[in-house]
Amino acid sequence: MAECIFCRVGRGEIPAEKLFEDEFVVAFRDIHPVAPVHVLVIPKQHVTAAWEIDQSHGFMLARMFIAANDAATQTGIAESGYRLVINAGPDAGQSVDHLHLHVLGGQRLGWPPFPPAE
């Protein structure tokens, strides 16, 4: 997936405002935020979506959550609260075919997060 935009961010080919990076994941600010704090956490390994996850991805997923917690602390939302969201597929709102975790906060977030379907 050489042309995947998130793979390119992970390789450093596309600039991003990074808050966390290790050999497995990158956390960076979303360029189209939907909340005052909106950070994306991506694995550097290309995984299309949650349906591709198996037991071999356990460590990578743990690193994603560690990066999300670190980003929440850095952005000042760790104590007030934040939401972690993974969308899987177009009906769920996944717009980039690369697994990613949204870290959302900086305001009170409602539930449900969307109006009911008609």
Residue 100 is a catalytic residue = yes
Catalytic residue selected from 38, 57, 98, 100 = 100
**Structure tokens belonging to residue 33:** 């935020």
The span from the CA of 34 to the CA of 1, in Å, is 27
CB 107 within 8 A of CB 76: no
The span from the CA of 79 to the CA of 73, in Å, is 8
Neighbours of 79 (CB within 10 A): 8
CB 85 within 8 A of CB 77: no
- Catalytic machinery residues: 100
